[in-house]
């Protein structure tokens, strides 16, 4: 599982880091400790859910160039692209929306672009977390790199828990059951 985000405390609670926040939450829930991976800018933790071994990852470099590290660790651990789950922010979904899918377009998300290029395939699962879009397109970068508003913060922790549950559901129950259970629209802001 790859929780996309940017490193450093200044980005830790931003919209762009919801994927990394989900990974950290899963690590806490499963009692896993993250460590720096050898030779690549990536943090990894080994965990188990039921009897399934999980490899949780979070970038140690900018999200937009994180794909090679994720693909390298997946390759060394013999994890095929079809078993990879990317968790990421999605400005094309309203804040609070959650969508689970496999493959498809990256919709211009540079972290996903990096993964597709590194894996040479778009055929990984995605847990897409809606962070909303600013009123003006030229504000997209500032929007995702800013912290959640006070009103949004009240909902973010629930959203992170739900996304973590969706990851575990994908592993246990598969795509269709997970989509039925977790796909939803956003919350009113």
Q: What is the pLDDT of residues 49-108, one digit of tens each?
A: 989 999 999 999 999 999 999 999 999 999 999 999 999 999 999 999 999 999 999 999
**List 16, 88, 109, 143, catalytic entry:** 16
Nearest CA to 93 out of 157, 184, 180 is that of 184
- Sheet with 85-90, strands from edge to edge, namely 35-36, 42-49, 52-59, 2-3, 85-90, 125-130, 98-102
| Six token digits for residue 186 | 């956003």
Annotation marks residue 16 as catalytic = yes
Residue 50 placed within a domain: yes
Assigned domain for 189 exists: no
Strand 98-102 relative to strand 125-130: parallel, antiparallel, unpaired?
A: antiparallel
Residue 188 inside a domain? The answer is: no
Q: Is the pTM of this model over 0.85?
A: yes
Confidence check: pLDDT of 123 > 70:
yes
Residue 187 inside a domain? The answer is no
Q: Based on the structure, what is the number of domains in the chain?
A: 1
Averaged pLDDT score across all residues of the chain: 94
Inside any domain, residue 78: yes
CATH number at 16 reads 3.40.50.1470
Q: Does residue 61 belong to any structural domain of this protein?
A: yes
Domain of residue 54: give its range.
2-182
How much helix, strand and coil, in percent to the nearest 5, is found in the chain?
45, 20, 35
pLDDT digits (tens, 9 = 90+) for 27-49: 999 999 999 999 999 999 999 99
The yes-or-no verdict on residue 13 having pLDDT over 60 is: yes
**Is the model's pLDDT at 188 over the cut of 60?**
no
According to the per-residue pLDDT averaged within each range, which of 8-12, 60-64, 142-146 is highest? 60-64
Q: Considering only CA atoms, which of 83, 64, 98 is closest in space to residue 73?
A: 83
Per DSSP, the chain holds a count of helices (H) and strands (E) of 6, 7
């Amino acid at each position: 599982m790859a929780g996309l985000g940017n490193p450093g405390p200044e980005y830790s609670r931003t919209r762009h880091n919801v994927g990394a926040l989900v990974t950290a939450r899963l690590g806490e829930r499963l009692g896993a400790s993250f460590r720096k991976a050898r030779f690549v800018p990536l943090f990894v933790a080994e965990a188990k859910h039921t009897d399934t071994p999980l490899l949780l990852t979070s970038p140690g470099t900018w999200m937009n160039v994180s794909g090679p590290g994720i693909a390298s660790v997946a390759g060394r651990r013999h994890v095929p692209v079809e078993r990879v789950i990317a968790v990421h922010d999605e400005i094309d979904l309203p804040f609070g929306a959650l969508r689970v899918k496999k493959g498809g377009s990256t919709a211009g998300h540079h972290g996903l672009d990096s993964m597709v290029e590194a894996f040479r395939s778009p055929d990984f699962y995605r847990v897409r977390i809606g962070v909303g879009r600013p009123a003006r397109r030229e504000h997209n970068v500032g929007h995702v790199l800013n912290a959640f508003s006070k009103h949004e913060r009240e909902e973010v922790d629930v959203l992170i828990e739900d996304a973590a549950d969706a990851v575990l559901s994908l592993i246990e129950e598969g795509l269709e059951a997970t989509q039925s259970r977790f796909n939803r629209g956003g919350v009113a802001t």
